[in-house]
Structure 1
């Protein structure tokens, strides 16, 4: 009987040891468990109430800016919320053009334009040469903006980079008297080349197109020493012609020079009988 009791006690002891080995117990707690044990929950003492939610403050009733800020705790996020809360999101209809960013505000909105665009709604493309209020002489499109330039004898104004001013005393194209030119234009008797007669020093940039069949059938404008601008219909009128420079009349006069035509460049978009793109550049040797 005694031996049976001893054997049973020994068996229980061994079972406990095996169980302890299979399920090992750690002596120390990890950091998270330790923190949860030693940390103490804050209690509501009645001195200050916990912050209310946005729904409680501004959705269930109309709130003030200060009340909204007490929820967001900073001015930046409050301003974004307040702009929409007061009068709705005015950017929802996408008023800004050309990929601009719309910033809603109280009573309005602002468009932040991409490079090369301007205007209230970023509707103006500054990279293209405008037809109205653009460069006074030459214009070249660019990536961020267009660029103005001037003909020989002219320079860009220091106060307005769109306008050209004389760089020499008598640059090509400058009129000595606008009033005399206007009076002559009103009383002009058109000749067969539809031009205005000039005094010797008034129109040195003018040229005259002439052929064996006509002493002068069209006028032109000197661009460079070997380039003359005229209309496409004038350049197509005769297969062979010459360009007279230093002329003021259709008859021969001292100082006249005749240039032979090397090649005629017609505007690629010119359509015969239509006024659009009616341009041609005559190239001399």
Structure 2
């Protein structure tokens, strides 16, 4: 993750410590890497379940704080931000969020009429109903009508506020399952053909193809984590439930069943570890063949819509391939990467809060920089992020480079532990670190490097739906602009982090503001920029070191910054610091021209 300035710094390439947490590990999403094996419910899989003791010790289920806490208003004081983003009295484009109506007031002002229950200058504040502990030992989910929330209790706690304890009464097991009491814990003994912790998964519960049509009842990940409801306040933006009916065309709604709304290889869901929000693939079976018959008395399960079952061995085909027939590398290179900064995601989840999950093809310029000891047979390990800017060139942070090691880049895959058919892996032929790169106890300066990939006559990476280049910026962008960072959060010697690519939205912070003594003071120079949220929050430091900070310029994504350093993660007045790419445009062009 971000290169962290600490009072006593470790070697910049030692990403792990004695406990294996990693120097960057506390920036990442702390979770297991998914196994994603074949039909794990048929194997000897140990089911992980949250017991009574785990529930009452969960820090998230703390007693409700009636005073001010981080859940009362996570917007913070952002008047300065709205001033920066004011459209000088223009209501086109509409600055009002959540279907607010914009009315101009004079030449340089406007007013937003906000629909209930939203408020704020731009209707940006939804009802803050899911304060910590409001639902006792349960999950707070958002609804569209008063009181705008509902409590989903963790068994054996009971509605309405999930504070009353009752084991097996009423029976939590579905489809005739028997509840076996064990102190304050319980087990469901399911009738034949049913499975899952609460016996909700029927014998015909399976998915076809990539599972987009799956409407079954599996609600656990491969590793046994309980799925969150899709209308959990952990997931939804702006504090309101967007689901007008129980099921929409993507199968999302006020439930916690696994779905695949964005083109992943199989159904998945979000889950929680403490206050960290993660996602993983689900423990759902692939259909062997379509079935319509079912045992008498068994309720019908949702049926897949596809008529042809997929192959269980053949991997998915990449979306884009080089043209057929003999084509020289020069001709192929000339026909590719003619445009930059325009992704082609399979299917974006527009209603789900940004910063949680990347759709396949949504950040096709993101690469994983991987290293191993020189000339060794050891496996490559992810150490940093990077961004593809040409077929044979990757930008990354200077502090990521260790020239004593072999390096390669992985691109085209959202997963580090299970690359798919769209993955491309290319060796690094040459690493060029900026000549004035230096570190101090307070900052990292000129933190930029170029990686020349190994290829033939200017052709290295192959452009596909999942591998594209980001554009270089033309000029400075305005303060307050919302941009995107991305990364895996995994480190060289640490299992902490996500094996799936994550993204987060950050705001460009005024340089003068970030140079104030209370923030970074004189450590900041014009080769750096700040982005994040001054009130703090993990979304300000979720990108891997060297990874991209991209912003929209003329409808294309430009690589405006590289994740560089910061003081801890999510700390108030300590936003992330990024290498300002606009200061290095001449350097980038000169190095590429000198190393064709």
Q: Which has the larger share of helix?
A: 1
Greater RCO between the two (CA within 8 Å, min separation 6)?
A: 2
Larger Rg: 1
Tell whether the structures are fold-level matches, with TM greater than 0.5.
no
TM range (shorter): 0.3 to 0.5
TM-score (ref. length: structure 1): 0.32
